[in-house]
Structure 1
């Protein structure tokens, strides 16, 4: 009996290293690096980020695909919404200085 021919094997490409996402962040209030930790409780469907230096925190709803970076980004977005002053276009017309 003859041997089977060795099949030509293509070299397998090495697996790419997946970079892990950050789980600790800098606080937008006190600016301490790595002071904000994120906890996600999928049973209660709550995600919370909290700074252990200045004790600021933010909570939101969570689901199976929620990651710590998502919760932190949402917190930053909410902080920016609160800190944006109203422009002149958004003022109520009843407060105009020009009276007729």
Structure 2
């Protein structure tokens, strides 16, 4: 006679765990920002191990470490608006991103020379013969 088939137990669901370590926006290092939640004091503390920057934010019972981190990101962006950075000409090299450095360092004459070196005319006009 036939045996009864045994049922497999369903695979356990993996629990999603939110990070408590994040990338620092001040020193641009990875996984160096620790967030500690003090639920009894209703305060979230953020601290970078490398550059020493600290931030403190009020929390509620539903807050997570990622909430404190993004409050810090929002607060730092509110202090340095992106539009005002682009307008000033006396910024140091550290304050400029990679593309801004390239645009500031290359003059029009150097750019034309680079294009001619590659066989491209600086006016971007096609030098091809007309075909009938």
* Structure 1 unmatched runs, 5+: 1-9, 88-100
When normalised by structure 2's length, the TM-score is: 0.52
**Length, aligned pairs only:** 80
- Higher strand proportion, which one? 1
SS, match of residue 74 in structure 1 = helix
SS, match of residue 46 in structure 2 = strand
* Structure 2 unmatched runs, 5+: 1-6, 85-132
Q: Output the CA distance in 2 between the equivalents of 1:78 and 1:66.
A: 17
Q: Is residue 2:26 matched to residue 1:29?
A: yes
What does the per-residue CA deviation read over 1:6-63, in whole Å, with 9 as the maximum and x for residues that have no partner?
A: xxxx987544323211110111100111110001111111111110111111101012
- Higher helix proportion, which one? 2
Runs of 4+ in 1 over 2 A off after TM superposition: 10-16
Q: RMSD in angstroms over aligned alpha carbons?
A: 2.2
Higher relative contact order (CA 8 A, sep 6+): 1
Structure with bigger gyration radius = 2
